[in-house]
Amino acid sequence: MSSSERVWNARQKNREQRLARATAALGSQLQGKIAPADQLGELLYAVLENGDRVCVEGNNQKQADFLAKGLAALDPARVNGLHMLFSVLALPEHLDVFEKGIADRLDFSFSGPQAGRLAKLASAGKLNIGAIHTYLELFGRYFVDLTPRVALVAAQAADRHGNLYTGPNTEDTPAIAEATAFSSGIVIAQVNEIVDELPRVDIPADWVSFAIKAPTPHYIEPLFTRDPAQISEIQVLMAMMAIKGIYAEYGVQRLNHGIGFDTAAIELILPTYAESLGLRGKICKHWALNPHPALIPAIEAGFVESVHSFGSELGMEDYIRARPDVFFVGPDGSMRSNRAFSQTAGHYGCDMFIGSTLQIDLQGNSSTATLGRIAGFGGAPNMGADARGRRHASEAWLKAGQQARAGRNTIPRGQKLVVQTVETFREHMQPAFVEKLDAWQLGEQAKMPIPPVMIYGDDVTHILTEEGIANLLLCRTEEEREQAIRGVAGYTAVGMGRDKRMVENLRDRGIIRRAEDLGIDKRMATRDLLAAKNMKDLVRASGGLYNPPKRFRNW
Amino acid sequence: MSSSERVWNARQKNREQRLARATAALGSQLQGKIAPADQLGELLYAVLENGDRVCVEGNNQKQADFLAKGLAALDPARVNGLHMLFSVLALPEHLDVFEKGIADRLDFSFSGPQAGRLAKLASAGKLNIGAIHTYLELFGRYFVDLTPRVALVAAQAADRHGNLYTGPNTEDTPAIAEATAFSSGIVIAQVNEIVDELPRVDIPADWVSFAIKAPTPHYIEPLFTRDPAQISEIQVLMAMMAIKGIYAEYGVQRLNHGIGFDTAAIELILPTYAESLGLRGKICKHWALNPHPALIPAIEAGFVESVHSFGSELGMEDYIRARPDVFFVGPDGSMRSNRAFSQTAGHYGCDMFIGSTLQIDLQGNSSTATLGRIAGFGGAPNMGADARGRRHASEAWLKAGQQARAGRNTIPRGQKLVVQTVETFREHMQPAFVEKLDAWQLGEQAKMPIPPVMIYGDDVTHILTEEGIANLLLCRTEEEREQAIRGVAGYTAVGMGRDKRMVENLRDRGIIRRAEDLGIDKRMATRDLLAAKNMKDLVRASGGLYNPPKRFRNW
């Protein structure tokens, strides 16, 4: 085909056709860009074409649930072959489209509650998984080879022009909408209300094709709320070791915490234990973090200077509004979260990532993938990886780099601290340390090209268990590394398989450090150290501003 | 200080004070958010405070030059101690603020034309450099510990509400404006025109404090234009080796090219040489790239499916508008670039980065830092680093990972292709290969904590010179790696120092490949292979749509 015959604006023309079909289908029910909720099916039939790449906004918190339901209700005889894109595949409807035959391809990042059903559908041949991504990677591909043709997003409100206000749960909407709108795609937003004037504009109307007021407000999951009442004394001990043996040791000022009780315990003993060590102003000043309720006491105690958030957290709205020096808020007073920028901050602007996992092998590779579940890893691979493009120095980064390279003939370089914190046995007495990750078998079952590892061993710098801290930066051979891991693996088979003399040698060299080596009195490790011991304490610490979701109210 | 006494909205209150001072100073000359150009000095005195962190938008292309000049014209007795943030420190005024004593701290990414003067000012104690960053890293820190208090940005147009239209040069504006606006900072935009209705909204008015129509349109640098007339036959030969020995070998479909004649040569022989090898549709389909004019013939020949851009390129506006299937354009037809997303795409969505450098050492570390110049590295560290958080597979990524790990006891993992392409001698017969990088001495001179390396040796997978390709992935020892580098270093001292037997052994093993090993007939390596031999050819290839800046018009 000669260049002169080639069509260069096929997407634009196709977009016009889709819009024209929508206008024809909805007629006078379409008021500008505002479509009525009961016409969602007609609208989707009008704008969708078979084989479309469709991004449904499913986030850690906010869900475009009305649109997801509408999509799943379509007739597969009329729409099929869709290629679905999700940050978080969280709702049953996200999988119904595959079961019904409306969609057959999937690329995503995380699938927590749907992981088991996803694995079943995959093995039944109902869908073809392109890949599991970390969030920022998926956003990057939206601008390269996974650009959505149609995006279904969620916002708090729209005005009559189609401008969107997301409120605190901006999350993934900017990345999805930009990639779709600027490739001549279609962006449909479900909103909780349509108003004359928005508190602020998060997504300009130019980027939005249609807005629909959903019958019920979009669903929000309070994913980052941990009730302090459930924190154990083992977790308090591990939190003490983390603070004294890692945070203070490296002077960690900029960080991200994973989800979980282990890290909630650390947040909750900052105002008590870390304060007693004189660490206020020296550690934990800048965070890339959702607004964890467990962080309230540390904020109130003056530990925290800033928090930039991936998404918001239900119940934290008023507290955030009253703490604008700490959180990123708009002129309207509500937060602007942004997963793309917060993941960028986590990757390049933080010195430490600490999170938990389900399994760690003898090389330090870790994974939450277990048999029969295709869960994905969300942000962990991005934040739990050394940012090799990073060029700015900090005390923590330089010290980690020096430890890793001491005595080696390499050019000096810093390194990110990546800490995996696990109790040696998880629930049902499953060992956290294994000879071989389940990920190998899962990868074979699901025909993945390589096993799904969450964090690679060569990126992990420390493993923290109730038995102590293994500093992998200081290990000089594969064998030392293996013994350092065995040396904190407790009574698991991996731990029992340790070479005792070598482990004692590693301890003498400070590669393994027990609580007593750190000068930590284990008797102090009680729940008394928690600055809030239950949800009510968190509410109190917030001066009544924190308003926990019902399921967390046990008083 | 007890929690009840603490002020939590100091930034908001301070912002209100600044805005009130601006209103008082400008009076009725301020119409809403629109300020007159001749009042810029008064406006800056009103909104700035000593010690402020101030981000001046300086990009690869677009410059907020009017605002930069206004800032440099202030009286240091009234405003001083500023901490300056720049993506690209490009204009004399960017440094005048330090010379005059208005500012004394600097964090930045790139300083091409000002690198020599910057080094002089730094050694004269006129400024304290925090760090040199890669772009995405600097954006990340804007949300962590380098949040701007005041941002001075540039756009094509504003409406009377303060909404901004950036046109194709959106570049860094969204990242800067979001970080500043949502931390209660002040955003001032210079615009080329103020209009009643914008072609589209790139930055919502909520995020903008003031807009000023500058007396002259903001400066744009055509940084990515390379005249094909200046491409040498050596560069054609190297381009042939790149395509046959790397692009085809790995099936590279998603990539970024650095700036330079080496990569322009590759772009220009896609429609000729790569076509003759049957590679159309098999390589180079998706790009994270500014709209390089040298890519026009490959686009016209059907090699290129998509290009997402960091910024635009002067003269490419009409061509882009006529090729919306390839570029990301808005409903108005002009491009939306976005450096943050394109760097994310380059990091996580691309399988290969290929670029040039000034010096490479025996471990493969490379740097463009030379004595007396503090230049920075822009996007290269981000794109020229293995993305260790990446989890999706591709043919190229898997093959690179397999080559690196074959025979090693590690869990399977892919790897990014990072190619350094250099002629063994650069201009003035300076060798590109050195025993020790100048970066060491520069780092000491400028008191940097570690030497400023652009791309670390352990991230480099291939080195390409006129003598051949060294595949570092296949090297198994430090010594092999060193000899592989010496083996393509030609007649430089490093090249002459090779162990000839070992180099021949590496060649037998395919670690070093010469043109003849690749089946490339060197006699074919002439300028006849270039799909465009000069600027006029590029204009012709574009069907007259490309409109080169005057300085490139030699007909």
**Any idea what the Cα angle at residue A351 is, between residues A347 and A356, rounded to 5°?**
75
For A200, which residue in chain B has the nearest alpha carbon? B206
Range A68-74 average pLDDT: 98
Task: Tell me the per-residue pLDDT of A498-525, one tens digit each, with 9 for 90 and over.
Answer: 999 999 999 999 999 999 999 999 999 9
Task: Tell me the per-residue pLDDT of A200-211, one tens digit each, with 9 for 90 and over.
Answer: 999 999 999 999
Task: Tell me the per-residue pLDDT of A135-151, one tens digit each, with 9 for 90 and over.
Answer: 999 999 999 999 999 99
Q: Which pLDDT value is given to residue B554? A: 78
Instruction: Decide if A330 and B206 are in contact by the 8 Å CB cutoff.
Output: yes
Which residue from B8, B200, B363 is facing A324, i.e. has the nearest CB? B8
Which residue from A301, A331, A382 is facing B389, i.e. has the nearest CB? A382
Q: Is the ipTM of this complex over 0.90?
A: yes
Q: Which pLDDT value is given to residue B5? A: 77
How far, in Å, CA of B109 to CA of A389, rounded?
A: 12
Q: Which pLDDT value is given to residue B4? A: 57
> What residues of chain A lie within 8 A of the CB of B147, using their CB?
306
Burial-class residue A480 by CB neighbours within 10 Å (0-12, 13-18, 19+).
Answer: middle
Shortest Cα distance, chain A CAs vs residue B517, angstroms:
31
How far, in Å, CA of A421 to CA of A358, rounded?
A: 10
Q: Which of A343, A391, A408 to mutate to test the interface with B (most CBs of B within 10 A)?
A: A391
DSSP letter, residue A489: S
pLDDT category of residue A408 using cuts at 50, 70 and 90: confident
Task: Tell me the per-residue pLDDT of A144-189, one tens digit each, with 9 for 90 and over.
Answer: 999 999 999 999 999 999 999 999 999 999 999 999 999 999 999 9
Give DSSP secondary structure letters for A26-83. HGGG-BTTEE-GGGHHHHHHHH--TT-EEEE-B-SSEE-HHHHHHHHTS-TTTS--EE
Closest by CA to A94, choosing from A133, A127, A125, is A127
CB atoms within 10 A of CB A28: 6
Q: Which of A182, A436, A440 to mutate to test the interface with B (most CBs of B within 10 A)?
A: A182
Instruction: Decide if B456 and A411 are in contact by the 8 Å CB cutoff.
Output: yes
How far, in Å, CA of A360 to CA of A367, rounded?
A: 7
How far, in Å, CA of A56 to CA of A111, rounded?
A: 13
Instruction: Decide if B204 and A163 are in contact by the 8 Å CB cutoff.
Output: yes
Instruction: Decide if A453 and B478 are in contact by the 8 Å CB cutoff.
Output: no
Q: Which pLDDT value is given to residue B409? A: 84
| pLDDT digit string (tens) for chain B, length 555 residues | 445 578 999 999 999 999 999 999 999 999 999 999 999 999 999 999 999 999 999 998 999 999 999 999 999 999 999 999 999 999 999 999 999 999 999 999 999 889 999 999 988 989 999 999 999 999 999 999 999 999 999 999 999 999 999 999 999 999 999 999 999 999 999 999 999 999 999 999 999 999 999 999 999 989 999 999 999 999 999 999 999 999 999 999 999 999 999 999 999 999 999 999 999 999 999 999 999 999 999 999 999 999 999 999 999 999 999 999 999 999 999 999 999 999 999 999 999 999 999 999 999 999 988 888 888 899 999 999 999 999 999 999 999 999 999 988 889 999 999 999 999 998 889 999 999 999 999 888 888 999 999 999 999 999 999 999 999 999 999 999 999 999 999 999 999 999 999 999 999 999 999 999 999 999 999 999 999 999 999 999 999 999 999 999 977
Give DSSP secondary structure letters for A319-365. HHHT-TTTB-B-TTSSB---HHHHHHIIIII-SEEEE--SEE-TT--
Q: Which pLDDT value is given to residue A4? A: 57
The structure tokens listed for A412 are: 């000096």
Which residue from A143, A184, A414 is facing B308, i.e. has the nearest CB? A143
Q: Which pLDDT value is given to residue B47? A: 98
Shortest Cα distance, chain A CAs vs residue B524, angstroms:
26
Instruction: Decide if A345 and B288 are in contact by the 8 Å CB cutoff.
Output: no
For B449, which residue in chain A has the nearest alpha carbon? A393
> What residues of chain A lie within 8 A of the CB of B478, using their CB?
409
Instruction: Decide if B145 and A306 are in contact by the 8 Å CB cutoff.
Output: yes
How far, in Å, CA of B500 to CA of B425, rounded?
A: 20
Q: Which pLDDT value is given to residue A403? A: 98
> What residues of chain B lie within 8 A of the CB of A347, using their CB?
140, 389
Which backbone phi and psi does A157 adopt, to 5 degrees?
-150, 160
Q: Which pLDDT value is given to residue A1? A: 43
Q: Which residues contact A187 (CB under 8 A, 6 or more apart)?
A: A150, A151, A153, A176, A177, A180, A181, A207, A208, A209, A210
Instruction: Decide if B449 and A398 are in contact by the 8 Å CB cutoff.
Output: yes
Q: Which of B198, B289, B344, B447 to mutate to test the interface with A (most CBs of A within 10 A)?
A: B344
Give percent of chain A above pLDDT 90: 92
Instruction: Decide if B183 and A328 are in contact by the 8 Å CB cutoff.
Output: yes
* Residue A292 scores a pLDDT above 50: yes
Shortest Cα distance, chain A CAs vs residue B18, angstroms:
15
> What residues of chain B lie within 8 A of the CB of A365, using their CB?
411
Which residue from B349, B363, B452 is facing A145, i.e. has the nearest CB? B349
Residue type, A327: F
Which residue from B391, B401, B450 is facing A393, i.e. has the nearest CB? B450
Q: Which pLDDT value is given to residue A481? A: 97
Shortest Cα distance, chain A CAs vs residue B516, angstroms:
34
Instruction: Decide if B412 and A348 are in contact by the 8 Å CB cutoff.
Output: no
Paired residues of B431 in beta bridges? B425
> What residues of chain A lie within 8 A of the CB of B286, using their CB?
144-145
Closest by CA to A472, choosing from A411, A400, A407, is A400
Which residue from B145, B324, B338 is facing A12, i.e. has the nearest CB? B324
